[in-house]
Structure 1
Amino acid sequence: MNQTASDNAEEFGFRQGDLVQEWLWDDDVDDSIREKIEKLTNEDLVDEEYDSAVDGAIIWWRDGDDEDELSDTIVDAYAVLGDDGPLWVLTPKPGREGAPSPSTVQNAAKTAGMNAATPLTVSDDWNGILLRAFGKGR
């Protein structure tokens, strides 16, 4: 059963002052999610070109994109996370345009050496899946 997002984005595990990197942004993303994260952290999101350490990351993922690219993006995003910060893959909900099959994120995460949690509802149209490195508890 999916959990439901809060109004203030605390479910992402980000805190005030955290620098969060955003990967694979496109014009179909849910700006309300971005705004909630920026309000919570009091920092602007940085894009995938940012090359210093960050405190967390979100990856926007849609069906039709190359699954190998998702694995590579997960590896790249994890490489710049400090202290094992939260790493989320955001996907359109089932039934929405671009919704991937449930196994797509699971398989890409496994290929990248990560475990994928149960999806969390983060907006009306998007789910979030928290990833953790194998052997890392929370």
Structure 2
Amino acid sequence: MLVLVTETASQKAEEFGFHPGDIVQEWLWDDDVDDSIRAAIEELTGEDLVDEDYDSAVDGVIIWWRDGDDEDELSDTIVDAVAVLGDDGPLWVLTPKPGRKGAASSTTVQNAAKTAGMNAATPLTVGADWNGIRLRAFGKGR
């Protein structure tokens, strides 16, 4: 079963909606992140992930989010990320799965997204210990 879990978005980074040549910005990195997800995105895009200090436009965003972090901070981070994200670029909030240390409620992510003017999709398994929630601006597809 573990093979099926790791063969989701972490092994098939294209499920994130990123493409070769895309610049993907990573927010709130810490030493608990799943490096296989990061490596899969870098392999697909052929580019290193850039951090939140990167000051040019980007093609996609991942935000690592854990329970215990301030929901208002997540809303602010989403707004900051959208400011540098190109039109219709994928924006993902990655959270530890339920039962894992730092697991965040999807309601927390949904509330923060709504505050930031975004819709949150249903969580998707992106790694053995992480779920991903894609955010879209209100009125933009599913």
TM-score bracket for this pair, using the shorter chain length:
over 0.9
Give the aligned CA root-mean-square deviation in angstroms. Answer: 1.3
Q: Aligned partners of 1:43 and 1:111: how far apart in 2?
A: 31
**Which residue is 1:78 aligned to?**
82
Q: Is residue 19 from structure 1 mapped to residue 23 from structure 2 by the alignment?
A: yes
Partner secondary structure for residue 28 of structure 1: coil
Return the match for 2:94 from 90, 97, 103.
90
Q: Is residue 99 from structure 1 mapped to residue 68 from structure 2 by the alignment?
A: no
Equivalent residues in 2 for 1:53-64 (5 A)?
A: 53-64=57-68
Higher alpha-carbon deviation: 50-59 or 6-15? 6-15
Gaps of 5+ in 1: none
Equivalent residues in 2 for 1:1-138 (5 A)?
A: 5-6=8-9, 7-137=11-141
Give the structure with the larger helix fraction.
2
TM-score of the superposition, structure 2-length normalised?
A: 0.92
Which residue type is aligned with residue 62 of structure 2?
A: I
1:84 CA displacement: 1.9
Q: Aligned partners of 2:104 and 2:81: how far apart in 1?
A: 20
Partner secondary structure for residue 50 of structure 2: coil
1:8 CA displacement: 2.5
Q: Aligned partners of 1:82 and 1:130: how far apart in 2?
A: 15
1:137 CA displacement: 1.8
Q: Aligned partners of 1:15 and 1:134: how far apart in 2?
A: 23
Gaps of 5+ in 2: none
* Alignment size in residue pairs: 136
Structure 1 stretches (4+) deviating beyond 2 angstroms?
A: none
TM-score of the superposition, structure 1-length normalised?
A: 0.95
